[in-house]
Amino acid sequence: MSDQPLTLPVLDAYLAEKSERTAFPPAIEAVYSEQMSSYRLEVMEKGILRAVIIYNAFLPVHFLLLPRTAIIALLLHLGVITPAIFGVGWLYRRLDRQVLREAAAAIIPLLMVAQIMFIYSLNRGEIADHYQYLAIMLVIYSNVNQRLSFRVAVGATLVLTATYLAFLLPGHSPFVTKFIGCTLVACAGYLSLMANRRMEQDVRQIFLTRLRDQLRREGAEEVAKRDTLTGLSNRRQLDETVKDLWVGEAPASTVAVVMLDIDHFKRFNDCYGHIAGDVCLKTGRCRRRQRATQYRRSCGPLWRRRIPCAYAGYRIERGRSHRRTYSPPN
Per-residue pLDDT of 2-15, as tens digits, reads 456 677 777 777 77
How far apart CA 113 and CA 136 sit, in angstroms, is 8
Other beta carbons within 10 angstroms of residue 118's beta carbon come to 14
Q: What is the pLDDT of residue 321?
A: 61
Per-residue pLDDT of 232-249, as tens digits, reads 677 777 777 777 777 755
Q: Which residue in 113, 158, 108, 104 sits closest to 135, CA to CA?
A: 113
Please state which CATH class domain 235-325 belongs to.
Answer: alpha beta
Are residues 181 and 133 in contact, defined by beta-carbon separation less than 8 angstroms? yes
Q: What is the pLDDT of residue 303?
A: 46
Q: What is the pLDDT of residue 255?
A: 65
pLDDT at 296 over 60: no
Mean per-residue pLDDT of the chain: 79
Q: What is the pLDDT of residue 311?
A: 47
Per-residue 3-state assignment (H helix, E strand, C coil) for the chain:
CCCCCCCHHHHHHHHCCCCCCCCCCHHHHHHHHHHHHHHHHHHHHHHHHHHHHHHHCCHHHHHHHCHHHHHHHHHHHHHHHHHHHHHHHHHHHHCCCHHHHHHHHHHHHHHHHHHHHHHHHCCCCHHHHHHCCHHHHHHHHHHHHCCCCHHHHHHHHHHHHHHHHHHHCCCCCCHHHHHHHHHHHHHHHHHHHHHHHHHHHHHHHHHHHHHHHHHHHHHHHHHHCECCCCCCECHHHHHHHHHHHHHHCCHHHHEEEEEEECCCHHHHHHHHCHHHHHHHHHHHHHHHHCCCCCEEECCCCEEEEEEEHHHHHHHHHHHHHHHHHCCCCC
Least confidently predicted of 97-111, 157-171, 269-283: 269-283
pLDDT at 301 over 60: no
Percent of the chain with pLDDT over 90: 30
How far apart CA 255 and CA 8 sit, in angstroms, is 36
Residue type, 146: Q
Q: What is the pLDDT of residue 136?
A: 93
Tell me the longest C-alpha to C-alpha distance in the chain: 106
Are residues 201 and 21 in contact, defined by beta-carbon separation less than 8 angstroms? yes
**Where does the pLDDT of residue 320 fall: very low under 50, low under 70, confident under 90, or very high at 90 and above?**
low
**Where does the pLDDT of residue 285 fall: very low under 50, low under 70, confident under 90, or very high at 90 and above?**
low
pTM of the model: 0.68
The arithmetic mean of pLDDT across residues 17-40, rounded, is: 78
How far apart CA 34 and CA 56 sit, in angstroms, is 34
Are residues 104 and 88 in contact, defined by beta-carbon separation less than 8 angstroms? yes
Strand order in the sheet with 302-308: 255-261, 302-308, 295-297
Please say whether the dihedral angle defined by the alpha carbons of residues 321, 323, 326 and 330, taken in this order, is positive or negative: negative
Spell out the domain ranges in the chain.
8-219, 235-325
Per-residue pLDDT of 165-204, as tens digits, reads 999 999 889 999 999 999 999 999 999 999 999 998 888 8
Per-residue pLDDT of 101-113, as tens digits, reads 889 999 999 999 9
The arithmetic mean of pLDDT across residues 44-63, rounded, is: 86
pLDDT at 159 over 90: yes
Please say whether the dihedral angle defined by the alpha carbons of residues 241, 243, 245 and 247, taken in this order, is positive or negative: negative
pLDDT at 310 over 50: no
Burial 213-249 (b: 16+ CB within 10 A, else e): eebeeeeeeeeebebeebebbbeebbeebbeeeeeee
Percent of the chain with pLDDT over 70: 75
Per-residue pLDDT of 106-154, as tens digits, reads 999 999 999 999 999 999 888 989 999 999 999 999 999 888 889 899 9
